Amino acid sequence: MGVDGLRKSYGDKEAVRGVSLEIRTSEVFGLIGPNGAGKTTTLECLVGVRRPTAGLIRVLGFDPAGRSLELRRQLAVQPQEGTLFPQLRVRETIEMWASFYSQPMDVDQVLSEVGLAEQAGQKVKALSGGQRRRLLLAVSIVGRPKLLVLDEPAAGLDPQARELLWNVIRAHRRAGGSTLLTTHDMNEAAQLCDRVGVLVAGKVVASGTPAELVRDLGGLSTISFTTDAPASLAAVRMLPGVSGVRTESSRGRVLVQVSTKQGDAVLKHVASTPTLNAMDLSVAHGGLDEVFRNLVASASKDSGDDKAGGSDESS
């Protein structure tokens, strides 16, 4: 399931410009991208609450524009701002949602999974922001959906709630369900998502497993060491894959930081060159956040600054 060639314009502003994504069964797919990249718009088109300008959308075998009841039973959506009934109690809210489905989860189990067991008797209007988000998650999962669509589910959650959220999503995956989520947290994308798509200015600029993206698009390692023979650094600068060498005086020696895509080869050279007399050798590998920063920087350079104003539109 997924979208193919998806486009969406608001007035003359093209927010999504030909996005193709596939979400596989039983995987967690993360959509990452800077503010305004088109993530929410893509999600909204995918779940059928927004009409695309162009493109094909297929979700669990359905075109979401058909608003089929069958699809709605198998699809759960947690928007960034969901509406709940303030006068209902937490347990009543989950029970109400459970009543819409033929085989809902046990309400106590849901309360415990999202960490709201203690608030079960509390009115929704008395919940904190993070607790409201936990409740929105609870009503998303209670119907055992096949596809869970979560727009920035971790926003505003404390570390413990984030851990609970990740556990809920992993349990959903173990039960065979798929998840599509957006996040600004690269650690979350790297740890939780099986695959990620990077959206910049309405276009997918990269996709793959977090490990593939880091291997193929990042992989800048920083090799640090101290030396008392900076003249020998000329050979290091010439090594293939070295993109920068920074030096700084440090307690009678020179602290060196080498940025390179070929960390292993540089490390070997440094460690096996006696004239360098390298000490305090350490290696740090760049992660998904470095890949993300680089992708955003180069995509923004390519596309120019697209700040055309759009009109408000609600469908």
Residues that bind ligand ATP (CB under 6 A): 10, 13, 15, 33, 35-41, 310, 312-313
Whose Cβ is closer to ligand ATP: residue 35's or residue 272's?
Answer: 35
What is the four-CA torsion angle of 28, 32, 35, 36, rounded to 10 degrees? -80
Whose Cβ is closer to ligand ATP: residue 18's or residue 36's?
Answer: 36
Whose Cβ is closer to ligand ATP: residue 31's or residue 94's?
Answer: 31
Cβ 198 to ligand ATP shortest distance, Å: 11
Tokens of residue 220, six digits: 């800048």
Cβ 16 to ligand ATP shortest distance, Å: 7
- DSSP conformation class of 243: E
Whose Cβ is closer to ligand ATP: residue 13's or residue 89's?
Answer: 13
Q: What is the largest CA-CA distance in the chain?
A: 75
Whose Cβ is closer to ligand ATP: residue 98's or residue 199's?
Answer: 199
In the block, residue with structure tokens 């005086």: 249
Whose Cβ is closer to ligand ATP: residue 13's or residue 253's?
Answer: 13
Cα(95)–Cα(66) distance, integer angstroms: 28
Cβ 282 to ligand ATP shortest distance, Å: 35
DSSP-derived 3-state class of residue 73: helix
Cβ 167 to ligand ATP shortest distance, Å: 24
Cβ 300 to ligand ATP shortest distance, Å: 13
Sign of the Cα torsion 27, 28, 32, 38 reads positive
Q: Give the sheet arrangement for strand 242-250, strand by strand.
A: 242-250, 253-260, 221-227, 279-285
Looking only at the bridges linking them, the beta strands covering 242-250 and 253-260 are antiparallel
Tokens of residue 255, six digits: 């602290």
Cβ 307 to ligand ATP shortest distance, Å: 9
Cα(262)–Cα(205) distance, integer angstroms: 24
Contact 192, 30 (CB under 8 A): yes
